[in-house]
Amino acid sequence: MATSMGCLVVLCLVSPLLLAGAVHGNPGYGGLFPQFYDHSCPKAKEIVHSVVAQAVARETRMAASLVRLHFHDCFVKGCDASVLLDNSTNIVSEKGSNPNRNSIRGFEVVDEIKVALETACPGTVSCADILALAARDSTILVGGPYWEVPLGRRDSLGASIQGSNNDIPAPNNTLPTIITKFKRLGLNVVDVVALSGGHTIGLSRCTSFRQRLYNQSGNGLADSTLDVSFAAQLRQGCPRSGGDNNLFPLDAVTSTKFDNFYFKNILAGRGLLSSDEVLLTKSAETAALVKAYANDVHLFFQHFAQSMVNMGNISPLTGSKGEIRKNCRRLNNYH
């Protein structure tokens, strides 16, 4: 069993050529490469890291929020900082979509990074690249893996609230729906499970998992895959009605540390969201990965790092497309 599981995991890994592409600006990574700002803004990475480190020191939860911001950006129109735009005459902000409203956060930290970068090298570093770097630095700061971030993205000239409502995987989506949403963007099943492992940090609102406690299948019963004592514990803070914004750790064991307890929790019936638990119960392929990551934190870290690079490469704007925003919340020609 161990051998076949290992084979599955290795077979699903991305090609080493793509890994090389991440470093050399190979077209496989849309022309992005880690050294993009080495001459134009040599201290860019240092500045981002410094502001993120201060933000995470103030509030550990911010690490998860910044990783999620990058995720919610990339899944809508690609990694183009569209998620950062506020409402304006011509823009309906993605911040008001169902996945983001009263939920997505970290915008002030991005503003702080942008101000520091504009002081150091005006009009040079994109908001989209800030999100990619901040997600990597956040991961490291709470104990997760390091990866080289391919850079050179530019910022969008618009947003898509429809895309935000429809394309971001939801906590109550079925596993086939989640896999389809990933595949549409060129991401595979390994990416689905590895990136779900980002739930090893952060908090979730009661409204995101209430149906598992009271009416998972429309029959008024709790989700049978949920550990009974864990469900009872959750019900104390997540009543049948009200308390929508009450917060719960996605990983109740080590909620502020990036590790593989998320996967161990799933094996124990203690995954918080339906979209977490279905990775074990609805597909042999995803279940094998859950078990592999629960068993080997280094394998999880390796796959998570590669999947973050893969996700960061979704439809970037490069060359003369888009712009480099001076303020991440609005277009340069803002009226």
Annotated binding site for heme b: 199
List the one residue out of 197, 166, 202, 232 whose CA is nearest residue 305.
197
- The annotated binding site for substrate is made up of 169
| 175 Cβ contact partners less than 8 Å away, ≥ 6 residues apart | 275, 278, 279, 282, 283, 286
Long-range contacts of 254-257 (CB under 8 A, 24+ apart): 254/200, 255/201, 255/202, 255/203, 256/60, 256/61, 256/142, 256/201, 257/142, 257/143, 257/200, 257/201
Instruction: Please name the helix (run of DSSP H) or strand (run of DSSP E) that holds residue 133, with its range, or none.
Output: helix 127-141
Q: What is the CA radius of gyration of the chain?
A: 20
The span from the CA of 301 to the CA of 84, in Å, is 28
98, 234, 295 from 270: Cα distances, Å: 25, 10, 16
Q: Identify the CA nearest to 202 among candidates 263, 144, 250, 156.
A: 250
For 83, 89, 157, the CA distances from 148, given in Å and listed in that order, are: 23, 38, 27
Place of tokens 């439809």: 315
Residue 42 φ then ψ, to 5°: -60, -25
Neighbouring-strand partners of residue 317: 154
Q: Is 303 noted as a catalytic residue in this protein?
A: no
CA distance 163 to 229: 38
Query: Of 49, 70, 72, 303, which residue is the catalytic one?
Result: 72
Residues designated as active site: 72
